[in-house]
Amino acid sequence: MGSLQSLIGPHRLDALGAWAVTGILVGGVGRFAAGGEFDWAVLTALLVAIAVTVPFATRDLETTVPAELLGLVAVPVLVRAFGGFPQVTPFLVVAGVALLLAVVLDAGTSLTMTPRFATVFVVIVTMAVAGVWAVGIYATDTLLGTTFLDGQTELMWDLVTAAGAGIVAGIVFELYVERSARIARLRVSNPDPPAVDQSEASLPGNGTHHHIAVRTLQAVLGVISAFALVRGNVTLFVNSGGPLAITFLPALFRREYDYAMGTGIVLWITVASTLHAAGAFELYGAFGWYDSLAHAVSASLVAGVGYAVARAVERHSGAVAFNRKFRATFVVLFVLAVGVGWEIMEFTSGGIASMIGGEAVLAQYGTSDIVNDLVFNTVGALVVAGWSTAHFEGLAARLTGRVGRLTSGD
C-alpha cells in the first residue's frame, strides 16, 4: 500500500512549480470576481487556501503539495476562465478540492488514509457536494424566487455530470498514485479482525420479538409480490420482490460466511425493505409524508453500511486512522453520495422506459421529490452518525479484510 504523507515534502524545484500554479489560481480569483462570477471566485479561492495550508503549517515554503497534482487540479479552473465547458468544470473543481483536502488532511492532521481510500473519498465527496448543491439551489429558487434551475431534467443531468466528474477524478488520481515516484510503499501487517460482539447490534425488544416481527413483515412482502405477479404489474413486483429478497440476505450470510447478524439489525433491514415495497403499493401517492419516512429509514441503514465500511478499512490497515468526527462526516457524505446515485438510477429507469415504452421500474415525481429524498436521506444519516454507529460494529468486524483490501490497494 502507499502513503499519502510521502506526497508532501521539501522539494525546491517542485515547490517553485507549486507556487507558480498557486499564483495563477490567485489571478483566477481576481478574474472571476471582477467578472461577477463569485461562485467561481469562491471555488478557486478554496483551492488556493488548501494549497497554501501545507507550507504555512510547516513554516517551510519548499514544502508543498506536488506541483503536478496542483496543476492537474487547476486545469478545470483555467478551462472555465476561458469560457469552456461550464456544466462540467464546477464539479471537476469540487473533485479537485476533495483530492487536495485528502492529501492535506493526511499530511497535517491525525487522520491517515491510503491512496486507494483517498480515491474513494474523492468520488464520494464530489457526489455528496452535488446533492447539497441541488438542495441549496432548489431552496434558493423556492424561497428567493431565483431561477437557477430549469426543471427536473437539468437537475438530473447536473447530478449525472457530478458523478462522472468524481469518477474521472478518482481514476486520474489512482493512475497518478501508481506512477508517482513520491508515493512511499509501505508494508503494514493487517491485524486479525476483532471478535464480533453481537450485543452491539441490539434494538429495543428481545430476539424472539424481533424474529416474529421479521417473519410478519416478510409475509407482508410476500403477499404484495404475489399480488403484483397475479396482476402482471412488473413495476410493483420488482419493488416488492427485490426488497423481499434483501430480507433473506442475513440468513444467506449466516449460512455462507458463518456471520450471524444481530436480530435488531435484521429487523432494521426488514423494516426498511417493507417501507419501500409498501410505498410502491400506492402509499407514496396517498400520503405525502410516507416517502420522507421511507427514505429516512433506508438512509439510516445505508449510513450504517457506510460506517461499517470506514471502520473495516481502518481496522484492516495500520496505515489508516480516523477520528470520531471524520467517521461521522464520512457517514453523512456516504449517504448523500448513495442518494445521488439512487436518483441517477431512477432517472435512468425513466429514460429507458420512455425509449422502449412501459412504466419506469424506479420512478421520479419532479424536482421537489428529488430534493425531498436527498434531505430525508441526510436526516437518516445524521441520526446514525450521531447516535447509532455502535449497532454496526459487528458488521464492520466482518467486513474487515474484504473491504480493506479493496480500498487500501493491497
pLDDT tens-digit profile of 120-176? 889 999 999 999 999 998 899 888 888 778 888 888 998 999 999 999 888 888 888
Q: Which helix (H) or strand (E) holds 153?
A: helix 152-179
Assess whether 228 and 280 both reside in one domain: yes
Average pLDDT over residues 319-347: 84
Q: What is the pLDDT of residue 323?
A: 75
Q: Which residue in 321, 316, 404 sits closest to 113, CA to CA?
A: 321
Assess whether 24 and 173 both reside in one domain: yes
Poorest-confidence range of 207-221, 254-268, 335-349?
Answer: 254-268
Assess whether 139 and 275 both reside in one domain: no
Assess whether 90 and 205 both reside in one domain: no
How many CA atoms, within 13 angstroms, populate the side-chain half-sphere of residue 311? 24
* Cα 116 to Cα 403: distance, rounded to the nearest angstrom: 11
Average pLDDT over residues 53-80: 87
Asked, for residue 262, whether it belongs to a domain, the answer is yes
Asked, for residue 194, whether it belongs to a domain, the answer is no
pLDDT tier for residue 387 given thresholds of 50, 70 and 90: low
Report yes or no: 279 and 226 within 8 Å, Cβ to Cβ.
no
Assess whether 68 and 213 both reside in one domain: no
Assess whether 86 and 162 both reside in one domain: yes
Q: Which stretches of 270-408 are assigned E, i.e. beta strand?
A: none
- Residue with cell string 497554501: 52
Q: Does position 191 have pLDDT exceeding 50, yes or no?
A: no
Q: What is the pLDDT of residue 346?
A: 83
Q: What is the pLDDT of residue 390?
A: 62
pLDDT tier for residue 66 given thresholds of 50, 70 and 90: confident
Average pLDDT over residues 237-247: 77
Asked, for residue 192, whether it belongs to a domain, the answer is no
Assess whether 273 and 384 both reside in one domain: yes
Report yes or no: 250 and 272 within 8 Å, Cβ to Cβ.
no
pLDDT tier for residue 82 given thresholds of 50, 70 and 90: confident
For the chain, what is the largest distance between any 2 Cα atoms, rounded to a whole number of angstroms? 73
Q: Which residue in 339, 203, 179 sits closest to 271, CA to CA?
A: 203
How does pLDDT run across 264-318, given as a tens digit for each residue?
667 767 777 777 777 766 666 666 677 788 778 778 778 777 777 777 777 766 6
Q: How many structural domains comprise the chain?
A: 2
Q: Which residue in 249, 250, 247, 229 sits closest to 238, CA to CA?
A: 229
Report yes or no: 210 and 250 within 8 Å, Cβ to Cβ.
no
Return mean pLDDT, the chain. Answer: 78
Query: Looking at 132, 153, 185, which one is the last position of a domain?
Result: 185
- Residue with cell string 489571478: 27
Dig out the grid coordinates for 211 from the structure: 424474529
Average pLDDT over residues 245-249: 76
Asked, for residue 191, whether it belongs to a domain, the answer is no
Q: Note down the domain range covering 12.
A: 2-185
Asked, for residue 193, whether it belongs to a domain, the answer is no
Q: What is the pLDDT of residue 65?
A: 85
Count Cβ atoms below 10 Å from residue 383 Cβ, excluding itself: 15
Average pLDDT over residues 249-262: 63
Asked, for residue 190, whether it belongs to a domain, the answer is no
Count Cβ atoms below 10 Å from residue 204 Cβ, excluding itself: 8
Between 21 and 189, whose confidence is greater?
A: 21
Q: Which residue in 140, 394, 373, 135 sits closest to 263, CA to CA?
A: 394
Report yes or no: 210 and 263 within 8 Å, Cβ to Cβ.
yes
Average pLDDT over residues 30-59: 89
Report yes or no: 410 and 316 within 8 Å, Cβ to Cβ.
no
pLDDT tier for residue 357 given thresholds of 50, 70 and 90: confident
Q: Does position 394 have pLDDT exceeding 80, yes or no?
A: no
* Cα 258 to Cα 374: distance, rounded to the nearest angstrom: 35
Buried/exposed 325-360: b ≥16 CB within 10 Å, e otherwise: ebbbbbbbbbbbbbbbebbbebbebbeebeeeeeeb
How does pLDDT run across 195-227, given as a tens digit for each residue?
444 434 444 555 677 778 878 888 888 888 888
pLDDT tier for residue 27 given thresholds of 50, 70 and 90: very high
Assess whether 178 and 285 both reside in one domain: no
Q: Does pTM surpass 0.85?
A: no
Asked, for residue 302, whether it belongs to a domain, the answer is yes
Asked, for residue 97, whether it belongs to a domain, the answer is yes
Assess whether 96 and 133 both reside in one domain: yes
Q: What is the pLDDT of residue 237?
A: 80
Q: Does position 21 have pLDDT exceeding 90, yes or no?
A: yes
Q: What is the pLDDT of residue 303?
A: 79
Report yes or no: 114 and 409 within 8 Å, Cβ to Cβ.
yes
* Cα 261 to Cα 201: distance, rounded to the nearest angstrom: 8
Report yes or no: 14 and 180 within 8 Å, Cβ to Cβ.
no
Query: Looking at 159, 185, 211, which one is the last position of a domain?
Result: 185
Which residues have C-beta within 8 Å of that of residue 229, sequence separation ≥ 6? Answer: 237
Q: What is the pLDDT of residue 388?
A: 59
Give the percent of the chain with pLDDT over 70: 77
Q: Does position 253 have pLDDT exceeding 90, yes or no?
A: no
pLDDT tier for residue 3 given thresholds of 50, 70 and 90: low
Dig out the grid coordinates for 70 from the structure: 496542483
Q: Which helix (H) or strand (E) holds 63?
A: strand 63-64
Q: Give counts: helices (H), strands (E), the chain.
A: 16, 4
Q: What is the pLDDT of residue 29?
A: 92
Assess whether 374 and 255 both reside in one domain: yes
Query: Looking at 163, 185, 207, which one is the last position of a domain?
Result: 185
Q: What is the pLDDT of residue 207?
A: 65
Assess whether 366 and 221 both reside in one domain: yes
Dig out the grid coordinates for 141 from the structure: 429558487
* Cα 90 to Cα 43: distance, rounded to the nearest angstrom: 8
Assess whether 368 and 228 both reside in one domain: yes
For the chain, the distance separating the N- and C-terminal CA atoms, rounded to the nearest angstrom, is 6
* Cα 123 to Cα 99: distance, rounded to the nearest angstrom: 9
